[in-house]
Amino acid sequence: DAGVIQSPRHEVTEMGQEVTLRCKPISGHNSLFWYRQTMMRGLELLIYFNNNVPIDDSGMPEDRFSAKMPNASFSTLKIQPSEPRDSAVYFCASSLWGTGNQPQHFGDGTRLSIL
């Protein structure tokens, strides 16, 4: 079975450029999560969706970050304009429904470097 698929795996771009990260959740999963991981701050939840609707976006750092889920099989996380402090590994995860006891299935991440 296909797991969570993220693209690109690596992205290097200059400060000020727009960055778009993509995620395809596991088919049949109703919840999707975007995380950011750094050495300093660990794994932080940015936003999550249930049935394509954003439920909690309190982790989104600022207005430069936006996320969409136009359908059950696709989500994007956009940073515009990007800054060097946005450099991190960004993970997408999905679960059958919500949080609670549900296991989350993670993609392999996008390693983002902003120069």
- Contact call for residue 77 and another protein (CB under 8 A): no
Contact 11, 78 (CB under 8 A): no
For residue 14, the minimal CB distance to another protein (Å) is 24
State whether the Cα torsion 3-109-12-79 is positive or negative.
Answer: positive
d(CA 93, CA 36): 11
- Residue 100: CB atoms within 10 A of its CB come to 6
Q: 3-class SS at 80?
A: coil
**Only segment of 18-26, 43-51, 69-77, 80-88 that touches another protein (CB under 8 A):** 43-51
Position 42 contacts another protein (CB under 8 A) = yes
Site for another protein (CB under 8 A): which residue of 91, 94, 112, 114?
Answer: 91
28 touches another protein by CB under 8 A: no
Distance in angstroms (rounded) separating the CA atoms of residues 113 and 26: 27
17 or 51: CB nearest another protein: 51
| Cβ atoms of 86 and 79 closer than 8 Å | yes
> Using the rule CB under 8 A, which residue among 43, 61, 84, 96 binds another protein?
43
Note the residues at the interface with another protein (CB under 8 A).
4, 42-45, 48, 50, 55-56, 59, 91, 93, 98-101, 103-109
